[in-house]
Structure 1
């Protein structure tokens, strides 16, 4: 089902009688920890659900510690090589014969922030924002944006009020959206992060942690949303 790609990771569905391909595509924007095993698993479950998934390595094979500051700077500035890389991934995926040409984006943590910014840019048909940063001008940012499904944790110390802010933004912008906050979940609740990560101390301080029930529900919502706005097209 999966294969490594020079510029990142690619996960392709197994053809079945009811879904022989081509399939809708999803660009996965990895979290601050980089394109590790957990991010591969996120790509794999989407591929198992019938989507061609491409995850570019935004760090270019370098460590997260070395690349984190520069990547977050581009997120704050809303421009830079990372955005070029993600757009190139979208264009290549849309042109891939295994893809229908309809492409969405999903992001986690830092990647969720990028996914939210991309939702307001041309070419994307749906965006899944998972505990990503929500800027104050989100309503203006999402003018004319694609549909957005977003998930946040109520115990996320770094993003207090983010779900409510995004909900107000999508309503003001008139964007089709499903925004949900899981009261008992912390930051990164969909991700099973490795304790051996060099960023593990930051995980403890920030209150990062997996939550099985919240993760399962969020994945169901994401798939239902993607089925309607990517596969439905």
Structure 2
């Protein structure tokens, strides 16, 4: 991995959120970055370790359907402590964060209904990350949660120049399936087997799509895991809004561990 400090990582559970404790001293640097797409302002969050010398791989992170909030920023910090430059992008626009599922669905549908606009928002954030002086611009991956998982998969299908994408409890269905030779990214999907939003037939269709398109892909299904299994707030949100959401600490830890292995293999 380009210029990354070797680290021994110890995994702990603090409260509910999986956190990273690195043996090397980390000087975490974070800042918000405003950027423009189509005349609208979007606000992303950059995190990196200033103790890592030279350019390092970059990782984009796409938020859940609620919007860009604290959760994706925590994930960006975790990636930064691993030696990456992480940019939690914004797909909705500055200050658009839903406090109810109906509003979240409205925000999400506005993005998903316009494929070219969604791609423009993603690729502008990709450009912002690539322009950062600490980033190796040819070494970029993208992670997405829920709505964000669907976004990164769609960007891979569209042939966006990424080394790899990872979807966590994201929708797998599409009306624009991957075509042979078009997908540049390796693809990893972490899915809850008990997630009614992503039924087994959708998983099977996705696997068939990836196979037909000759994509380097893997799908991991976690028995008993529901939608939102990586987010410690999912269980409470599920109870509050009567949605099939639940945090699963085991699936969260395993998917994050496998993500580290995937990123290390991409950039070694």
Alignment TM class, shorter chain as reference:
0.7 to 0.9
Contact 1:10–1:52 (8 Å) recurs in 2: yes
CA distance in 2, matches of 1:34, 1:227: 28
CA distance in 1, matches of 2:222, 2:236: 27
Paired position in structure 2 for 1:100:
136
Secondary structure of 2:195 counterpart: coil
What's the TM-score, normalizing by structure 1?
A: 0.86
Higher relative contact order (CA 8 A, sep 6+): 1
In structure 1, list runs of 5 or more residues that go unmatched. none
Q: How does 1:16-165 map to 2 (within 5 A)?
A: 16=52, 20-59=53-92, 60-64=94-98, 65=100, 66=103, 68-80=105-117, 82-101=118-137, 102-120=139-157, 121-137=159-175, 139-140=177-178, 143-145=181-183, 146-161=185-200, 162-165=202-205
Q: By how many angstroms is 1:185 displaced?
A: 0.7
- Higher CA-based Rg: 2
| Cα distance change, pair 93–186 in 1 and its aligned pair in 2 (3 A) | same
CA-based RMSD of the aligned residues comes to 2.3
What's the TM-score, normalizing by structure 2?
A: 0.75
CA distance in 1, matches of 2:176, 2:86: 27
Contact 2:29–2:50 (8 Å) recurs in 1: no
In structure 2, list runs of 5 or more residues that go unmatched. 1-27, 34-42
Q: Which has the higher helix share?
A: 1
Count of aligned positions: 224
Paired position in structure 1 for 2:45:
9
Q: Which has the higher strand share?
A: 2
Q: Is 1:181 aligned with 2:221?
A: yes
| Cα distance change, pair 26–209 in 1 and its aligned pair in 2 (3 A) | same
- Deviation >4 Å, runs of 4+: 136-139, 194-197
Paired position in structure 2 for 1:226:
263
